[in-house]
Structure 1
Amino acid sequence: MTDSARPDTDRLASVDLDAATLPAATAEIEHERRVAIFDLVEKNAFRPEGASGGPYALKLSLQDSRLVFDISGPDYARAHGLSLTPLKTVLRDYILICESYYEALRGSSPSQIEAVDMGRRGLHNEGAEILKARLEGKIDMDQETARRLFTLVCALYRR
């Protein structure tokens, strides 16, 4: 986010999911999605390029194998489609390492848990960077917002 960001208005006030276009989810995944949305809305720095001020509402949907960011604000309404292809490898790897992390928590040594957690955090940062780069020129956000948004994308991608 640039120095000209206005924290009171350059933010997401709400995030909704278009359930009709997203893959069906188990109760556990639905819970993950709700938590990811709560965390994202709770603290974020988000400004669509060309918008003069928010707050903004975001609706996510899948259309033609693209994740669509439908953004609206006081003087802004635009949708951006994002191919998930560049994110597929990191999404898959992140989901796998999360499973390994939860498995490690059940019976591994603290050093093994720490090693898996470091890998998990590294992949999470990589995914956030890719997402931020793919949205460059469309949406300006800080690193923490990109991390929270990547968490939500992971929850949407999980089956």
Structure 2
Amino acid sequence: MTLPPNCRLIEVELDESIGRSTPDVEHERAVAIFDLIEENSFRPIGDEAGGPYRLKLSLVENKLVFAINREDGEQVVLHILSLTPFRRIVKDYYMICESYYDAIRSSTPSKIEAIDMGRRGLHNEGSQTLLDRLGGKIEVDFTTARRLFTLICVLHWRG
């Protein structure tokens, strides 16, 4: 899928409902947002005018709220996405990430590579789940879905 160049995010803001965390977590969130803005393909379904877009994320009762505005601040749409389908994947992803970081310190390169393949596989699964859940709401490519999934993961990370 190739969207026009103006169909992209230029800003991602985390609402105060998401809360603040440790400096390490805040750094990871900032990196995830930077990576997402750096390269993305994003358009609300049915918005033929195009972007670029500003995205404000907030949490309400275990749901992720996507408030999408145009560059000038005009509201485009509000989408609410349940985070329940991501619970298991995020939990498993963090467990395998811990195993990966432990392995880096003491395991063989082949074991590290095997764990990393599993980590990437779970990340892809989460990204595909996100892509499926956004279907009919927001058009993104797989790379953008991966970056959004990374951001969802760091929103859950408590450090």
Q: Provide the TM-score with structure 2 as the length reference.
A: 0.93
Residue 29 of structure 1: aligned partner: 25
Show CA shifts across 1:21-60 (max 9, x none). 1144111110000000000000001111111210000011
* Amino acid aligned to 1:51: D
Matching of residue 57 in structure 1 with residue 54 in structure 2? yes
SS at match of 2:110: helix
1:124 is displaced (CA, Å) by 0.2
| More divergent stretch after superposition (75-84 vs 87-96) | 75-84
**Partner of 1:77: helix, strand, or coil?**
strand
Match of 1:149 in 2: 148
Amino acid at match of 1:40: L
Cα distance, 1:10 vs structure 2: 0.8
Distance (Å, rounded) in 1 between the aligned partners of 2:128 and 2:75: 25
Aligned length: 155
2: CA distance between counterparts of 1:89 and 1:40? Answer: 23
Distance 2:20 2:42 in 1: 28
Paired amino acid for 2:64: L
What's 2:86 paired with? 87
Show the counterpart of 2:36: 40
Distance 1:118 1:135 in 2: 25
What is the alpha-carbon distance in structure 2 between the residues aligned to residue 87 and residue 109 of structure 1? Answer: 31
Q: Unpaired runs of 5+ in structure 2? A: none
**2:116 alignment partner in structure 1:** 117
- Residues 51 and 76 of structure 1 are in contact (CA less than 8 Å); yes or no, is this contact kept in structure 2? no
Paired AA for residue 153 in structure 1: I
* Rounded Cα–Cα distance in structure 1 between residues aligned with 2:53 and 2:20: 26
Conservation of the 8 A alpha-carbon contact between 2:63 and 2:81: yes
Shift of 1:152: 0.4
Any idea what the Cα deviations from partners look like across 1:60-83, whole Å, max 9, x if unmatched?
A: 100122110111116652111111
Residue aligning to 2:67: 70
Partner SS for 1:79: strand
The letter for the 2-side match of 1:119 is G
Contact 2:89 2:122 survives alignment (8 Å): yes
Moved >4 Å (runs of 4+): none
Q: Is the 8 A contact 2:11 2:55 kept in 1?
A: yes
Matched residues, percent identical? Answer: 56
SS at structure 2 position matched to 1:21? helix
Normalised to the residue count of structure 1, the TM-score between the two structures is 0.93
5+ unaligned residues in a row in structure 1: which ranges?
Answer: none
